[in-house]
């Protein structure tokens, strides 16, 4: 497939006897937004964990930019260009918002112990570059003014955006968002949707797990539906909405 960014082939993951993800095959093109939906426990987050190297698939493989990434360590996957957020926010609670985002720069910078202890010119330069980049990302998500606040003191919606900013700071070509609007009021949801639009315009592909259908249908180029670990449907938002299998899965017939 031309412009193919991510290719999941036959990915399968067992937990005990349970098949959490079962033979899922899925592609994402450069700059595309893929909505990933399905009832609770359908295996969406597990699929994210398979892509990001938290789990290795028991069968099948994940390729990214034509390189096999399944079996890689999570930090290697990040280095390859995939970043993510979490269903339950996982920020570094006792660090400032800016520092959280600066952590995202870790993978794109390289100063080590010796440079840090000697304060070499290269170290200072890189340190400044890290801060500048982090500030620009923080500005992008609209939270520059909160930069010096500890993230644990920020409002819930702001924390979600800091998490997105941290992921963006790693300069991903693919961003995985795990329920970015969960627990948000409509205004906040709309803001996050706007942010996703901005990210998309930067040419970053997105896979988004979402329960709010209007969000999914609005933002996605394509939608894939998981149920009981299997992909039951894939297509344009319009096609998916009409698919009887999807309706059945959601209504639990």
Partner 1 sequence: MFIQQLINGLTLGSIYALFALGYTMVYGVLLMINFAHSEIFMLGAYCGLGMLCVLPMAASGPAMFAVFAAAMFGSGAVAMLVERVAYRPLRHAPRLSPLISAIGISIFLQNLIMLTVGAQSMPYPEKFPIRQFEFWGVTLSTLQIFIFFLAVILMLLLNLFLRKTKMGKAMQATAQNHLVSQLMGINVNTIIALTFFVGGGLGGAAGVLNGLYYGSIKYNMGFFPGIKAFTAAVLGGVGNIKGAMAGGFILGILEVFAAGYLSSEYKDVIAFVVLIVVLIIKPGGLFGEQVTEKI
Partner 2 sequence: MKLPISKPYLMSGVLLLLLVWPFLWGGDNAYALYIACLIGIYTILCLGLNITIGYTGLLDLGFMAFYAIGAYTAAILSIHGVSFWLTLPVCVLVGGGVRYLLGLPVLKLRGDYLAIVTLAFGEIVRLVANNTVGLTNGPKGLPRVGEKISEIRLFGWSLNDTIHFYYLILAFVLLAVLVSHRLEHSRLGRAFVAIREDELAAELSGIHVARVKSVAFVISGMFGALAGAIYAHWIGFVSPEMFTFWESVFLVAMIVVGGMGNIGGVVLGVILLVGVPEILRSTLGAKFVDYRMLVFGVVMVAVIIFRPQGLIPSKRRSLELHTPEAE
Residues found near partner 2 in the complex (CB under 8 A)? 52, 54, 73-75, 78-79, 83-84, 86, 90-96, 98-99, 102-109, 111-113, 115-117, 119, 123, 126-127, 130-132, 135-136, 139, 144-145, 147-148, 150, 166-167, 170
Residue 145 binds what, of partner 1, partner 2, none (CB under 5 to 8 Å, by partner type)? partner 2
- Between 54 and 95, CB nearer to partner 1: 54
CB of 41 to partner 2, least distance (A): 21
CB of 25 to partner 2, least distance (A): 24
Residue 102 binds what, of partner 2, partner 1, none (CB under 5 to 8 Å, by partner type)? partner 2
Nearest to 5 by CA among 34, 41, 31: 31
Query: Under 8 Å CB-to-CB from 169, ≥6 apart: which residues?
Result: 101, 102, 103, 104, 105, 133, 134, 137
- Between 162 and 246, CB nearer to partner 2: 162
Whole-angstrom distance, CA of residue 205 vs CA of residue 88: 22
Residue 45 binds what, of partner 2, partner 1, none (CB under 5 to 8 Å, by partner type)? partner 1
Half-sphere exposure of 43 (CA within 13 A, CB side): 26
The answer to whether 149 touches 100, Cβ cutoff 8 Å, is no
Q: Where are the beta strands (DSSP E) in the chain?
A: 4-15, 18-29, 33-37, 59-64, 67-68, 82-84, 174-178, 205-209, 222-227, 230-235
Write out the residues near partner 1 by the rule CB under 8 A: 15, 45, 49, 54, 86
CB of 42 to partner 2, least distance (A): 21
């Amino acid at each position: 497939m031309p412009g193919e960014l991510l290719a999941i082939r036959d990915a399968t993951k067992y937990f005990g006897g349970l098949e959490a993800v079962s033979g899922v095959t899925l592609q994402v093109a450069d700059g595309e937004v893929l909505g990933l939906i399905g009832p609770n426990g359908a295996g969406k987050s597990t699929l994210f964990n398979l892509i990001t190297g938290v789990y290795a698939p028991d069968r099948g493989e994940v390729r990214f930019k034509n390189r096999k990434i399944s079996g890689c360590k999570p930090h290697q996957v990040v280095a390859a260009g995939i970043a993510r957020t979490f269903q339950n926010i996982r920020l570094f609670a006792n660090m400032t918002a800016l520092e959280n985002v600066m952590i995202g720069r870790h993978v794109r910078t390289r100063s080590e112990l010796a440079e840090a202890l000697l304060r070499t010119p290269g170290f200072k330069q890189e340190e400044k570059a890290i801060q500048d980049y982090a500030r620009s990302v923080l500005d992008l998500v609209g939270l520059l003014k909160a930069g010096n606040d500890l993230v644990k003191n920020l409002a819930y919606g702001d924390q979600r955006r800091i998490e997105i900013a941290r992921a963006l700071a790693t300069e991903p070509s693919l961003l995985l968002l795990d329920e970015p609007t969960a627990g948000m009021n409509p205004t906040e949801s709309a803001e996050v949707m706007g942010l996703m639009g901005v990210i998309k315009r930067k040419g970053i592909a997105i896979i988004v797990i979402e329960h709010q259908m209007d969000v999914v249908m609005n933002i996605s180029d394509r939608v894939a539906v998981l149920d009981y670990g299997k992909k039951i449907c894939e297509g344009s938002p319009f096609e998916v909405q009409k698919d009887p299998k999807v309706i059945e899965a959601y209504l639990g017939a």
